[in-house]
Amino acid sequence: MKTREQALELLHCYTQSTSLIKHALSVEGCMVWYARHFSVSEEEKTLWGMTGLLHDFDYERYPEPTNPGGHPFEGNRILAEEGYPEELRDAIMGHADYTGVVRGTLMAKVLFAVDELSGLITAAALVRPDRSLKNLEVSSIKKKMKDKAFARGCNREDIKKGAEELGIELDLHIANVLEALRALETEGILVLS
């Protein structure tokens, strides 16, 4: 089993962008939050976290969604060569609908469900005067979701679909991801300002 430190080293090897690294840490934190929520084992929780950490590690170098050679196809090849488990690689492939990989595990469904939403919540916090998640409310996030001009890169349909695939009502899913991100901010792992 690979360690988080090895995954973090791989992330930094391929990703220089501060915003992409923050996104990776955010998704990792959300994955770990949901792993606890669903009471997975400690070993699985580590795997879930690494899956979140590495889900976009290849994006900066291979941003085009082409097969072969683009994100996440190239990342999947690299992860296989590095010895990362198939369950992690399948979940990462499944976080992009265009790959055609079915999200067959709870971990894969959670990755898909938290990816876009964590980005939208972070963007919503960054436009606030305090640039913090502390006082951000679910209602504010839902309002930002309706504003198609805000954070255009965040796919609203994927956010809704992710909550549906988890069988969690959208407001509760938003609250869960917000709670996970707030914990990261409190711990100093996620610094938005």
34 neighbors 110 (Cβ within 8 angstroms): yes
pLDDT tens string 154-168: 999 999 999 999 999
**Average pLDDT of span 27-48:** 97
- According to the model, what pLDDT value does residue 1 have? 84
With 80 as the cut, is the pLDDT of residue 67 above it? no
Enter the DSSP assignment of 134.
T
Q: What CATH number matches the domain at 4-187, 1.10.3470, 1.10.3210, 3.40.50, 3.40.1050?
A: 1.10.3210
- According to the model, what pLDDT value does residue 64 have? 86
Q: Which is higher by pLDDT, 192 or 109?
A: 109
151 neighbors 95 (Cβ within 8 angstroms): no
With 80 as the cut, is the pLDDT of residue 100 above it? yes
CA distance linking residue 4 with residue 6, whole number of Å? 5
- According to the model, what pLDDT value does residue 10 have? 98
Q: Where does the chain have alpha helices with state H? A: 4-14, 18-37, 42-54, 73-82, 86-94, 106-126, 138-146, 156-166, 170-187
Domain ranges in the chain?
Answer: 4-187
Confidence of residue 68 (pLDDT cuts 50, 70, 90): confident
CA distance linking residue 108 with residue 99, whole number of Å? 13
- According to the model, what pLDDT value does residue 111 have? 98
Residues 6+ apart with CB under 8 A from 79: 54, 88, 89, 92
- According to the model, what pLDDT value does residue 175 have? 98
pTM for this structure?
A: 0.95
CA atoms 66, 64, 52, 31: torsion sign: negative
